Amino acid sequence: MLTKQRSSHSSRLGLLIGLAGVVVGLVTGFLIGSTKPLYLGLALGIVPFLFYFFTRFEQAVLGLLVLRTSLDPFSGQQIPAMFALGLDVLTILYVTVMLLRKQTVQTDRFWWFFAGWVILQGLWVVLLPLGGLGLGGGYLSDSIREWIRLFSWLMVYLLIMQLKDRVPPAKVISILFLALVAPVVVGLMQVFIPFALPSFLSAHSYDAGSLTSDGLRIKGTIGHPNGFVTLLLLFIGLTWWKLKQSRQSFVWLLLLGLLAFFYVNTKALFGLMMIATFVVVLVAPRLSPVNFIGGILFVVLVLGLFASSEFGRERLSSLANTPLLNPHIDVSRAILLSQSDNNSFNWRISQWYTLLNAWRQHPILGYGLGSSINVASNRLLPHNDYVRALVEGGIVGFVTFVVFLVAQGVRLIQLMLSAPPRSAQRDLCFVLFAIFLAIPVGMITENIWSHTTLFFYWFTVMAVTGWNWNEQLPQQERYYIGSSSKAF
């Protein structure tokens, strides 16, 4: 019996080494040809990492989740893109081996819907070189890159699903907080000791009219403050959930205050609307004096901190010179003013007007995935995800975009209704639903669809939320040792 087990283990190890050799050979050959020493060094580390990945699967996946927030500063070296591609390959390789061994690959109904939606988005990639869209085949690389980004979210969901029945769901959520360490530490340094940071980690002013130090916007390790603020909103929601679940409320209150501090220092105006929507949705169904006062105090804290700086007051007052709050300024005048008033909202109106005019020339199927930056004359994103969906996918693509958003909300409602009352799972579903309703609000004036780090963790939590939280397995408390070695 022991001999058979050893033989089986050896054959499995041989299969893994063989597959690893093929992958490393192909990747190394490509990287040698591209003369990239950094990439070559990473390729040489693939074999030991693959061995670790397959023998300590749970630890490796959780480690990758924590690592993601540290990669954006190295976008110039394409490290986040390589990470996404590597994660895709790892997931496909792992699932393939599971199927070859006739083991169960964990999925759920939403994943299959997600997979169908991603496949459907590939239609725009196929039509682009065939001349069926507003742009030609010369922009195919941008379209493929955007599709791979969407595909990576699908693979993240699938990879996390393989932890089901191996790691307690609450443990996965708790470990995600380790991903905050890097952006929080760098964010604190950006606020208090910016001179100690290298240039690629320093805070910058992202507004043309803000040249003073008061205009600096904190971004942590995320590529842009706007991306940091949406990631913070997700973790504010998770912290709110932990605050209710944990007996150590002081620690979570402290973290909530710290995240609120960073949230304000991103100086993202659209973030105020998102946090207000989040709190209103979270508090309204359970309108007790404690919840109401707590929600109001949190919103007041965020607004007060935002308005406490001259930069924040300027951004709030700038709304008075837009069609949003000034009836004497129409869209035409806002477009004219955008050329000289440094008002980001008027600039957005001008950008939307230009892109919508371009969309009218190809209204059915648009210009192709990732094409809005090429359609705009200034090569900037629309700062409105609904306009982006129209331009890139036309009416058909816009409908699929909205359907995908609605499907996520429906999924959360279904999970909420199926979870036991007052359970941790139902509370988490409700918090995620509040975040979900805040995201479409932010999409009105921001490129949230391009916030890859946010959706990396969003679909991670979405996958975990659908697990059976009531099932307790004997090995769950021992997932750091022992259980991972049984994967193969």
Burial 422-442 (b: 16+ CB within 10 A, else e): eebbbbbbbbbbbbbbbbbbb
Least confident segment among 30-34, 37-41, 424-428, 476-480: 476-480
pLDDT above 70: residue 19: no
pLDDT for position 378: 86
Does the residue 135 lie in any domain?
yes
Could you please report the per-residue DSSP string of 56-98?
Answer: SHHHHHHHHHHHGGGSGGGGGGTHHHHHHHHHHHHHHHHHHHH
Contact 447, 382 (CB under 8 A): yes
Contact 271, 259 (CB under 8 A): no
Query: pLDDT band for position 298 (50/70/90)?
Result: confident
Contact 200, 73 (CB under 8 A): yes
Among candidate residues 446, 335, 332, the one with its CA nearest the CA of residue 380: 446
Contact 69, 223 (CB under 8 A): no
Number of domains making up the chain = 1
Does the residue 411 lie in any domain?
yes
Does the residue 87 lie in any domain?
no
Residue type, 150: L
- φ/ψ (deg, to 5) at 204: -135, 165
Least confident segment among 47-51, 105-109, 423-427: 47-51
Task: State the Cα–Cα distance between residues 259 and 229, nearest whole angstrom.
Answer: 10
pLDDT digits 0-9 by tens, 157-170: 999 999 999 999 99
pLDDT above 60: residue 36: no
Six-digit token string for 235: 């973790």
Residue type, 235: F
249 sits in which H/E element: helix 249-265
What separation in angstroms does the CA of 257 have from each of 86, 446, 479? 35, 25, 32
Helix, strand, coil content of the chain in percent (nearest 5): 75, 0, 25
Segments forming the whole domain that contains residue 241: 109-482
Least confident segment among 24-33, 80-89, 178-187: 24-33
Does the residue 283 lie in any domain?
yes
pLDDT above 70: residue 205: no
pLDDT digits 0-9 by tens, 62-73: 999 999 999 999
Which whole number is the average pLDDT over 254-274?
A: 91
Q: What is the pTM of this model?
A: 0.85
Does the residue 360 lie in any domain?
yes
Among candidate residues 93, 101, 96, 107, the one with its CA nearest the CA of residue 53: 93
Does the residue 76 lie in any domain?
no
Task: State the Cα–Cα distance between residues 405 and 397, nearest whole angstrom.
Answer: 12
pLDDT above 50: residue 358: yes
Six-digit token string for 317: 């007052």
- φ/ψ (deg, to 5) at 217: -120, 125
Task: Tally the C-alpha atoms within 13 A of residue 470's C-alpha that lie toward its C-beta.
Answer: 7
Task: State the Cα–Cα distance between residues 246 and 238, nearest whole angstrom.
Answer: 12
Task: State the Cα–Cα distance between residues 325 and 9, nearest whole angstrom.
Answer: 69
**Cβ within 8 Å of residue 399, ≥6 positions away:** none
Does the residue 13 lie in any domain?
no
Which whole number is the average pLDDT over 397-410?
A: 97
Q: At what angle do helices 181-192 and 249-265 cross, to 10 degrees?
A: 60
**Cβ within 8 Å of residue 303, ≥6 positions away:** 272
Does the residue 446 lie in any domain?
yes
